[in-house]
Structure 1
């Protein structure tokens, strides 16, 4: 789906803040499955947490990302996802060895351009829902740098700018992509 745009990358790199800005500008946004799952599991004393049961967490993230993906079809215009199916499939593959990337990455497509936020130590913070350290966040980022191109996506690394400038940059990239395809989005 050309109008489904994934913003992925390093934990604590500003994805959610960027999604908030895009939502403020009137675009449809889909919150990160992982954060929602962690909040639910913490509230119910569950075990599907990345630091307790990584494979159960990844499977839940994959299920939630599929629901999000299907639900987004009913809207119009750009839909920005804070992570998506590829992130969940990469996490599942990393935790179990199961070949989830190829299975999910080819069937449920997003815009061919995926925007990645790079590691940004000055922004990174741990909290109740983000208990992994910065080194683990960087390792995840490096896996995603390989995962998305492995299933046919082009990556654009978002520059370390203010939130508004990052949103402008992302939207300009999409507009340029639309122009190259013979349409303006």
Structure 2
């Protein structure tokens, strides 16, 4: 089953959501990232689990929500292809970038949680990069994040496939073609 669970990742503002929306329109199951939902929820309740208030709590909330979503998807589907907007390792990467200690149980959960070994990563793309109320990173931080995410997935044994900068339809076709080839 985990062979059908694909991660689409990359730094902020590289087109992940646009690609996932297109895959969703094509009938694939897509799972939105937890980070934006958590930020919106924490802002709504004036909570501390925000990257600009309490990075450690924010990371804990992200990891917990992502792990719960993973298990819900894995336990309810049989052979459906699923695309996740980020995976558990994105949170581990965030923790490392922010010098937050990664708990032993987090590392254990990462090793027990299997996705397809091929991870699709979108490179920084200045022409489409925008900040907003939840995405506050500047361009340099976005590029740095991409490099760290890529290295994190490689360090954990995943094969990282860089999706070319192109029209959304071509990016989606690239992803589907790579899946069909494997």
**What's the TM-score bracket when you normalise by the shorter of the two chains?**
over 0.9
Q: Quick one: distance in 2 between partners of 1:151 and 1:102? A: 10
**1:30·1:80 contact (CA, 8 Å) conserved in 2?**
yes
Q: Quick one: distance in 2 between partners of 1:125 and 1:78? A: 30
Which structure 2 residues correspond to residues 1-185 of structure 1 after superposition, within 5 A? 1-73=2-74, 74-75=76-77, 76-95=79-98, 96-98=100-102, 102-177=107-182
Offset from partner CA, 1:73-129 (integer Å, 9 cap, x none): 112410000001111122123331326674333210100000001001111111111
Offset from partner CA, 1:125-174 (integer Å, 9 cap, x none): 11111112121121111111110011110000000011111111100000
Q: More displaced, 83-92 or 110-119?
A: 83-92
Shift of 1:34: 0.6
SS in 2 for 1:17: helix
SS in 2 for 1:114: strand
Q: C-alpha root-mean-square deviation of aligned residues, in Å?
A: 1.4
Matched pairs, number: 177
Long gaps (5+) in structure 1: 178-185
Q: Quick one: distance in 2 between partners of 1:102 and 1:151? A: 10
Long gaps (5+) in structure 2: none
TM-score (norm 1): 0.91
Q: More displaced, 42-51 or 113-122?
A: 42-51
**Larger relative contact order (CA 8 Å, sep ≥ 6):** 2
